[in-house]
Structure 1
Amino acid sequence: MSYLVLALKWRPKNFDEIVGQAHVVSVLKNAILKDRLAHAYIFAGPRGVGKTTTARVLAKALNCKNSPTVTPCGICPSCKEIAQGNSLDVLEIDGASNRGIDEIRALRENVKFAPVAGKYKIYIIDEVHQITNDGFNALLKTLEEPPAFVKFIFATTHPHKVPPTILSRCQRLDFRRIPVKEIVAQLKRISESEKINIEDGVLFTIAKASDGSLRDAESILDQLVSFGEGKISRQDAISVLGLVEEEALFEIADKIAAKDAQGTLEVLDRILSQGKDAEVFLNNLIEHFRNLMVTKISAKDLQLLDLPIETIDKLAQQARAFTLEEIFASFNVLTNALELSRRLDLQRIPLEISLVKLIHGKKPVSLPQPNANININSSKN
């Protein structure tokens, strides 16, 4: 049997397995239990957060032998066919490949035919925003008054590109980026079940790199398993993902705080010599100063940082070396450097200039001088 990647092997099979979308699951479950299902849904949200997966689970719930149910059995012929993607009653259509008026007309003609085995005929259209305006116009009437046995589920990463006339005929559910902690918890479950020997810190690194996409996180984990031998370390993750080490960000911020221009440029040279991308480093440094700002404002609110406790402690210590004004100035300098590097197609030079500018723009910390005050007063006497 061929190898099944983790993202497919661990794809949720029922509502309870869907990660990070409790608000969507709650709406769909209640709609099923109260028999208030809409004839058309539009699932909007970033990539890899469970839109198409949720559509499949909803299709199972509607066409399971026990349907309608919030707990599809997963073993009846209908559930198995939907999971395998070969159900005659659940049609998955790629909006990018079937975007013209001819394809939509064909869909409109097929809608009138009753389902073969299940109770509903379900159309799941992925990346629906790719359909042309003529295609959307051809779909309007069918979408407004579909047969009672037809359900439409649209999925899109760009809901603003879908015409308002389509949106107004659908019930919209917004999927969110999955929090880092929930991704880490899911990766830990996968690692334990698959007997993957991996450090806990690596799971957090993967979750941060995935940018709220569980599918991306599972793909990265798959890649690391193939890359490493023995226990997967954080260094393996940094090498594979091309990330800048956290220690390097703290080190360069310390050099800036100490007004050490030469030391700052030496750290930067070492990072770039390791093959790190200058733009990635610049983005990471901007995020680091953001974390310093949040720590300085609200050190006790861990949810705003979404970082390990040890890292938050280090941030709190380093934040004492900067004022809020200096952190705000750092944002301006670094974002200008990022824009300049993209405009000029140069990366290293704007970055070096911005770092030196940060150092020379940093105000020295003024300390109270009680002795001077005493001398002044005594001279007046």
Structure 2
Amino acid sequence: MSYLVLARKWRPKKFAEVVGQQHVLRALINGLDQDRLHHAFLFAGTRGVGKTTLARIFAKSLNCEQGISSTPCGECNSCVEVDNGRFVDLIEVDAASRTKVDDTRELLDNVQYAPSRGRYKVYLIDEVHMLSTSSFNALLKTLEEPPPHVKFLFATTDPQKLPVTILSRCLQFNLRRLDIKQISDHLAFILQQENIDFEAEALNQIAFAADGSMRDALSLLDQAIAFSGGKVTTEIVSQMLGSVSQQQLIQLLDALAAKDAKSLLIHIDELASLGRDFVVVLDGLMTSLQRIATIQLISDTESLDQQDDAALQNFANIFSAETVQLLYQIALHGKRDMPYAADPRSGFEMTLLRMLSFQPQAVTVNAGHPPVKKSQANSESAPVSSAVSSSVEPAAMYFPPSDSTVIHSSKAEPDSAEPPHTAPAKLEINEPPVEPETHSTVVTNTSTEVPPKETVHSDSDDASQLLNLTTANWTALIAQLKLSAFARQLADHCAYLRSDKNKIYLSVASELQHLANDKSVAKLQAAVSKQLQFEVTLVFTETTDTENVPTLAAERAQQAAELQQNAVDAIHNDPVVEQIKNAFNARIIDTTIKPL
């Protein structure tokens, strides 16, 4: 006997064997069991999700010799003939090859005759949207008033192309794409029945490549069995599909987290030597970044595989939420630009190097520098936003309305797909020695980070550090905390009031009191304690007068306002712009000016 492919061998023969589509199965089963049968059914969905399979099972249920039932016996002559594709009263038509109106009229000429063997004459028209307009018109009258012994079953991948007059006369069922778990579980069941060894990750890769189609998944499984010689392994499937394993993606993320360009290029070379498709690798990297972002926002998510939880959780702690979003956006742009690259590898390589180049530098708060005079400390304790804004050369771009010319100032930098991130000044809080009585704070700009030494803090040391907190270095401290969601918003909008022993007193504006819920306060308190290296308690007071106390959000807003004003001034003071205004009798719309 010739080999029967898995897609045909394991095609469901009853409703209980169908994977997924429970919303469709429920309607069909209830209609059969309650004898409430419509005369026309339309099954719509992408390829390989079970449209014609459900239609054949439905036809078998209608004509089973044991009676109309949602559970046909599968043993009578009618059931066996339907399964073998030779039941005389099941007329299957491929509309893609019979689009002419003459074909449809010939088909409908036999509708009036009673069925030869079965209870109903069933017309199964596949890809019905391919029929011509004349064919639909010829079908319309029969579809509206069919003989009682006729049932129409239509299948289509594009229901939008069907005339509304046809749609209104059918019961329409939209079949869903199958998810990865449904496909991989079914593949595992089939391989167990076939006594073929397999690895679960290999089946996940096949399910992902099938893109929601069970038939595609079974065809890929057939190919993997033939390719491997009997055992479906992750390595074999990766070679066959040109896909990338989770371990290889983790290696790339490790190199990005360590900002190790050399290691990154080595991993890219390994992927090239294995013949991996770099577009597929980029898709896998984007999927991992999306899952990391999900973990950062919802730490107890159940959508992740158990074997990947630890690694992805680690990256969720290493990367800030903003960095993950930036890396995802760079990957998205890299995929878009891949067709224009010299070759796929160079396009992929430049995308990852861009991820290294544009990762923002972290603001660090360190201890261990000698104290200085109080006047000097106060003069240097400027907010981080002023340090950043003073280091950026004023530059602006004028974005005019539609059908206008874009004007650049003489100081404007060339635009790019990914704007460069200015590295903020690194701030350090000094821990005073034991001997000096004065408690002073120094905030300095430094070109290198000095890792904090491991020390054993006593209660007096902790209290001394808290005495060094000011409104200026408090905003610098919380700017570097890795927080997300409400905890991040709470940190940005809280105002430092004072500190006492191991307590830090904070306040938020009355309209933002909802941010200070128990969960957000606990996350912020844990992050501050970890940064200061001793336990602190955050106390949010009832004080609502925070206008004179700076917050990180206020500093950022002030910085943005200053940059906007600098941009407007740069455009108005640009001699080239002035010449263009005079030459064309033009005016500048300030609201369209944006800082670079």
- Shared fold (TM-score, shorter chain, > 0.5): yes
C-alpha distance in 1, partners of 2:153/2:11? 18
Contact 1:257 1:362 (8 Å CA) reproduced: no
Which secondary structure state, in structure 2, belongs to the residue aligned with residue 93 of structure 1? strand
Q: Where do residues 310-329 of structure 1 align in structure 2 (5 Å cutoff)?
A: 310-329=307-326
Q: TM-score, normalised by structure 1?
A: 0.92
What value does the CA root-mean-square deviation take over the aligned residues?
Answer: 2.1
Gaps of 5+ in 1: none
Q: Which residue of 2 is the match for residue 138 of structure 1?
A: 138
Structure 1 residues 60-114: Cα deviation after superposition (integer angstroms, max 9, x where no partner): 0001112311111111111111111111111111121112222222222222222
Residue 42 of structure 1 and its aligned partner are, at CA, apart by 1.1
Equivalent residue for 1:368, pick from 365, 378, 389:
365
User: Does the alignment pair 1:263 with 2:325?
Assistant: no
Structure 1 residues 154-198: Cα deviation after superposition (integer angstroms, max 9, x where no partner): 112222222222222111111112232222222222122111122
- Higher mean alpha-carbon deviation, 341-350 vs 255-264, is at 341-350
Residue 343 of structure 1 and its aligned partner are, at CA, apart by 5.2
C-alpha distance in 1, partners of 2:68/2:441? 92
Q: Which residue of 2 is the match for residue 378 of structure 1?
A: 440
Structure 1 residues 334-371: Cα deviation after superposition (integer angstroms, max 9, x where no partner): 22222222356843333222211111111133343355
Contact 1:33 1:70 (8 Å CA) reproduced: yes
Equivalent residue for 1:352, pick from 334, 340, 349:
349
Paired amino acid for 1:373: I
Contact 2:255 2:261 (8 Å CA) reproduced: yes
Which secondary structure state, in structure 1, belongs to the residue aligned with residue 91 of structure 2? strand
Q: Where do residues 214-293 of structure 1 align in structure 2 (5 Å cutoff)?
A: 214-229=214-229, 231-293=231-293
- Higher mean alpha-carbon deviation, 177-186 vs 48-57, is at 177-186
Paired amino acid for 1:325: E
Q: Which residue of 1 is the match for residue 36 of structure 2?
A: 36
Aligned residues: 378
Q: Which residue of 2 is the match for residue 189 of structure 1?
A: 189
Which secondary structure state, in structure 1, belongs to the residue aligned with residue 429 of structure 2? helix
Bigger helix share:
1
Q: TM-score, normalised by structure 2?
A: 0.60
Describe the shift of the 1:335–1:374 C-alpha distance in structure 2 as closer, same or farther (beyond 3 A): closer
C-alpha distance in 2, partners of 1:327/1:53? 43
Paired amino acid for 1:238: S
Describe the shift of the 1:323–1:133 C-alpha distance in structure 2 as closer, same or farther (beyond 3 A): farther
Structure 1 residues 119-143: Cα deviation after superposition (integer angstroms, max 9, x where no partner): 1111111122222223222222222
Q: Which residue of 1 is the match for residue 101 of structure 2?
A: 101
Q: Where do residues 128-167 of structure 1 align in structure 2 (5 Å cutoff)?
A: 128-167=128-167
C-alpha distance in 1, partners of 2:84/2:56? 10
- Higher mean alpha-carbon deviation, 50-59 vs 284-293, is at 284-293
Paired amino acid for 1:360: S
Gaps of 5+ in 2: 369-427, 433-438, 443-467, 469-596
Higher relative contact order (CA 8 A, sep 6+): 1
For the pair shown, the structure with the greater C-alpha radius of gyration is 2
- Higher mean alpha-carbon deviation, 223-232 vs 148-157, is at 223-232
C-alpha distance in 2, partners of 1:18/1:355? 43
Q: Which residue of 1 is the match for residue 545 of structure 2?
A: none
C-alpha distance in 2, partners of 1:203/1:142? 46
C-alpha distance in 2, partners of 1:103/1:293? 55
C-alpha distance in 2, partners of 1:314/1:135? 58
Q: Which residue of 1 is the match for residue 560 of structure 2?
A: none
Structure 1 residues 304-354: Cα deviation after superposition (integer angstroms, max 9, x where no partner): x4xx30112221112222222222222322222222223568433332222
C-alpha distance in 2, partners of 1:52/1:192? 26
Contact 1:91 1:122 (8 Å CA) reproduced: yes
Which secondary structure state, in structure 1, belongs to the residue aligned with residue 296 of structure 2? helix
Describe the shift of the 1:325–1:102 C-alpha distance in structure 2 as closer, same or farther (beyond 3 A): farther
Which secondary structure state, in structure 2, belongs to the residue aligned with residue 153 of structure 1? strand
Which secondary structure state, in structure 2, belongs to the residue aligned with residue 368 of structure 1? coil
Paired amino acid for 2:77: P
Q: Which residue of 1 is the match for residue 409 of structure 2?
A: none
Which secondary structure state, in structure 1, belongs to the residue aligned with residue 292 of structure 2? helix
